[in-house]
Amino acid sequence: MAHRLAGHAQPTAAVLVASAGLLALSCGETPPPVPATISLAVVNARIWTGNPSIPWAEALAVVDGRIVATGSSDAIRLLASEENIVDARRRLVLPGFIDSYTQVLDLDAVPGRLPLGGIRSRRQLVTSVRTATATRPNDDWIRGHDWDQRLWGGTLPDRAWIDPVTPDHPVWLKHRDKQVGLANSVALSRARIVAGLRGADRGPDETLTGILSGPAMRQLEASLPTMSTAGVDRALDAALTEAATRGITSAYHVGEWDDLDLFLRARSEGRLTVRIYAAVPLGEWLRLDRAIGVGTFGGDDGRGDDRFRVGLVHANLDGTLASATAAFDAPYQDSRGEHAASSSGPKTIWPLALSADAANLQIVVGAVGDQANRTALDLAEHLLEREGPRDRRFRVAHAQHIHPPDIARFATQRALASLLPFSALHDGRWVDQQIGPQRGRTSFPVRGLLDAGAQVSFGSGRLNEGSPIDGIYAAVTRRTLDGLHPRGWWPAQRVTVEQALRAYTTGAAYAGFDETRVGALGVGHLADFVMVDRDLLTVAPTDIPTVRVVLTVVGGEIVLDRRPRTRP
């Protein structure tokens, strides 16, 4: 046969005719008419398929949102009309990126909120808040996000810093890890936060410092004005647009029950341009199970469809390194964390996890410290012993700091590791200081997990926190944001670009029970793919952040197109 064309499952009659025509063409006969069913074709590309058996192709064709053929450009061109052909001009085409652990919509970071991630001193924080009050009416809430006290030496902020410049405005500024925040006196009064309330931090004189966590933080946030439905929808649309620019075609959202209504509304209105697999808190497992049973989310199994589905529950076993609430076996080594925090374990999460597992719901637990990761692995072992073997794909998110002997347990206990690689560039600046270099050796241990045979996927934690290309750069180089590790922070844990790509594609698809539909570019897969302007597999590792997504396709529909236009 003169033109190579891969076979396809359950092909349409039009495609079969075209395939027969290719054979006729090789014998010098006239080709048949171009079939009208081909909605999109990509030719003249370098397509990394994600399939080790057939790793490369140069063209593909799409019918009804699925890939029906891959092969040579000459062959695919004969299947599609000219207006439906995308000439890749030898650019790299990849399976759409899958963010396997994220918050699709971060309402703390919508326009109008103060971005504090770059604040590096008390003076800068105060100046930022003062400037915000100048443009807001009295009594308007000033809300900010992403401050990190480690950037200015580790001293937690105090309401005394901002009270003098905010006498008429309530202020609520959330930490980067979202587990604590700073409120001024006006906000504390509005929310009726008093000394003695659990989670309300007090200073040496027993007065409130304004630092809130746990119940006190939830009480304050309950007093915040709510965003309108239209406002939330606009924020979601903006987040989906941002996902397209990052090449994200599927996202596993870790959120609250109310988020389900948001996604259902977007799906019904045709606005959901990213495939969502949504997780609700573990404590809501029974509510979720009942909703699935009555068909709330649609689909043959009651769990949704190709665009939006449920079936995942989440819980955290500890906190974060930034707030010194991650659970470790040994104490922290800096002044901010004198003792190792304790992991939530058998008494709190395990009974709920057993019930959710018995209902055939997938479980993902967040574990940062080595103690929490061991607790997660013990839970995986307990589920296996108690409920027996089945394809449950129990997941451990973060998997950030792991005691060396426990790395192999991820494979033996069949626990899937969902890491946040970009966080290594951020937290890597302080890990050795906070918990010591010995534990730093197996922090974010991507290479160790892969070498042990564990299933690894990558995510962001928040959709606006490091794109997949940033994550690939992080996993490949481990060059922390302070520039102090040009050869990589603990370089033994670096991985190859292809390994990182698999963690964002095939590995992530497996983590969501979706490997037969997404994560690879083969016949029968959903047509989710991205095109980048430079070849990720050949550029210098330090140049990876300069690579841009220029085309994003979800289900055969172009949702982002910023390819350079050629003059007629």
pLDDT at site 30: 41
**Nearest Cα to Cα of residue 316 among 139, 116, 461, 151:** 461
The yes-or-no answer to whether 13-90 and 229-554 have a common fold is no
Find the mean pLDDT for residues 151-171.
96
| Least trusted range by pLDDT, from 9-23, 292-306, 466-480 | 9-23
Where in the chain are the domains? 13-90, 111-222, 229-554
* Residue 47 clears pLDDT 80, i.e. is over it: yes
pLDDT at site 444: 97
**Nearest Cα to Cα of residue 98 among 377, 456, 364:** 456
Confidence of residue 22 (pLDDT cuts 50, 70, 90): very low
Find the mean pLDDT for residues 473-478.
98
* Residue 460 clears pLDDT 80, i.e. is over it: yes
Query: If 0-12 CB within 10 Å is exposed, 13-18 middle and 19+ buried, where does residue 49 land?
Result: buried
pLDDT at site 37: 84
Confidence of residue 1 (pLDDT cuts 50, 70, 90): very low
Find the mean pLDDT for residues 132-155.
94
Q: How far apart are CA 129 and CA 61, in angstroms?
A: 53
Structure tokens at 114: 């103060």
Main-chain phi, psi angles of 289, to 5 degrees: -60, -40
pLDDT at site 18: 39
* Contact residues for 235 (Cβ-Cβ < 8 A; gap 6+): 105, 107, 110, 227
Confidence of residue 80 (pLDDT cuts 50, 70, 90): very high
Average pLDDT over the chain reads 91
For residue 428, give the 3-state DSSP assignment: coil
State which CATH number among 3.30.565.10, 3.40.50.150, 3.20.20.140, 3.40.50.300 fits the domain covering 229-554. Answer: 3.20.20.140
* Residue 166 clears pLDDT 70, i.e. is over it: yes
Of the chain, the percentage scoring pLDDT greater than 90 comes to 85
| Residue 22 vs residue 443, higher pLDDT | 443
CA angle (279 as vertex; 501, 357 as ends), nearest 5? 100
CA angle (294 as vertex; 292, 299 as ends), nearest 5? 60
Beta-strand ranges (E) seen in 185-307 are: 200-202, 208-213, 248-254, 275-281
pLDDT in tens, 500-539: 999 999 999 999 999 999 999 999 999 999 999 999 999 9
* Residue 24 clears pLDDT 80, i.e. is over it: no
Find the mean pLDDT for residues 216-230.
95
| Least trusted range by pLDDT, from 28-37, 48-57, 189-198, 296-305 | 28-37
* Separation of CA 313 from chain center: 15
* 40 and 492 Cβ atoms separated by less than 8 Å: no
| Residue 110 vs residue 128, higher pLDDT | 128
* Contact residues for 469 (Cβ-Cβ < 8 A; gap 6+): 246, 247, 532, 536, 544, 545, 547, 549
pLDDT at site 25: 29
Q: How far apart are CA 228 and CA 234, in angstroms?
A: 10
pLDDT in tens, 350-369: 999 999 999 999 999 999 99
The fold adopted by the segment(s) 13-90 is Urease, subunit C; domain 1 (2.30.40)
The fold adopted by the segment(s) 111-222 is Diaminopimelate Epimerase; Chain A, domain 1 (3.10.310)
* Residue 176 clears pLDDT 50, i.e. is over it: yes
Burial 419-444 (b: 16+ CB within 10 A, else e): bbbbbbbbbbbbbbebbbeebbebbb
Confidence of residue 336 (pLDDT cuts 50, 70, 90): low
**Nearest Cα to Cα of residue 159 among 181, 190, 191:** 181
pLDDT at site 5: 44
Query: If 0-12 CB within 10 Å is exposed, 13-18 middle and 19+ buried, where does residue 222 land?
Result: exposed
pLDDT at site 566: 66
